[in-house]
């Protein structure tokens, strides 16, 4: 039977963002990493909460504001407890939150990202066009990863192999946007996909 398989992947960050900033102690641009610790300042019913980053070289710290002048009553007890406990999951969640870096005017080091692909879901429809595959790779962080590299990650092939398959027309790039790409193929390259 002929069928159309649609498979969706997402590029996921494995680690928090690393940022670049002038370090006053090192006296030059340095890389700062997530300590996965929070700093909390509670003054009456007003809260300030920061995520602490530190210079990889000298451990000079840099605080990224998560909440500033926020009413205690506006965050849940559970969330507040997580901040008090330096909850690692919560610290990682903020460490991957691009908006936090934007509002703190912190430059993310895009050359130091560790990422992978995660399969989200798959649908199979019957079709009259033979075996067709349409693969979408979502890129929610809009990381600058070449489409060939994205295809290579999904298929478990090298970038050169993908390049040659694209040239031969065995893979066709059907959509290329900063937030996602789609490619199609009728070639059964996907038997190797877990």
Q: How many residues bind Zn ion (CB under 5 A)?
A: 8
With CA atoms as reference, report the closest residue to 38 among 75, 78, 92: 92
With CA atoms as reference, report the closest residue to 3 among 122, 136, 151: 122
Which segment (49-57, 68-76, 112-120, 160-168) binds Zn ion by CB under 5 A? Answer: 49-57
**Min CB(32)–Zn ion separation in Å:** 8
Q: Where are the alpha helices (DSSP H) in the chain?
A: 77-84, 88-95, 98-103, 147-155, 159-167
Which segment (31-39, 54-62, 90-98, 164-172) binds Zn ion by CB under 5 A? Answer: 54-62
**Min CB(52)–Zn ion separation in Å:** 14
User: Per-residue string for binding with Zn ion, 12-31, x by CB under 5 A?
Assistant: -----------x-xx---x-
CB 140 within 8 A of CB 10: yes
Q: Work out whether 57 is an interface residue with Zn ion (CB under 5 A).
A: yes
What is the Cα–Cα distance from 8 to 182, expressed in whole angstroms?
9
Site residues for Zn ion, 140-159, by CB under 5 A, read none
Residue in 42, 46, 58, 84 binding Zn ion, rule: CB under 5 A: 58
What is the Cα–Cα distance from 152 to 44, expressed in whole angstroms?
54
What is the Cα–Cα distance from 59 to 64, expressed in whole angstroms?
15
**Contact residues: Zn ion, CB under 5 A:** 23, 25-26, 30, 55, 57-58, 60
């Amino acid at each position: 039977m002929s069928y159309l398989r649609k498979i969706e992947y997402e590029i996921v960050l494995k680690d928090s963002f690393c940022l670049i900033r002038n370090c006053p102690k090192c006296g030059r641009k340095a890389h700062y990493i997530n300590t996965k610790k929070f700093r909390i300042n509670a003054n009456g019913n007003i809260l300030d909460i920061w995520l602490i980053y530190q210079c990889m070289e000298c451990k000079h710290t840099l605080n990224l504001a998560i909440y500033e002048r926020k009413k205690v009553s506006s965050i849940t007890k559970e969330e507040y407890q997580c901040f008090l406990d330096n909850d690692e999951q919560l610290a990682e969640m903020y460490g991957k939150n691009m908006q936090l870096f934007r509002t703190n005017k912190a430059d993310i080091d895009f050359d130091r990202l560790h990422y992978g692909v995660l399969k989200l879901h798959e649908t199979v429809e019957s079709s009259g066009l033979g075996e067709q595959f349409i693969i979408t790779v979502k890129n929610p962080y809009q990381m600058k990863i070449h489409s060939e590299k994205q295809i290579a990650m999904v298929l478990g092939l090298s970038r050169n192999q993908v390049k040659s398959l694209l040239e031969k027309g065995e893979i066709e790039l059907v959509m290329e946007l900063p937030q996602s790409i789609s490619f199609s193929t009728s070639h059964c390259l996907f038997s190797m996909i877990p």
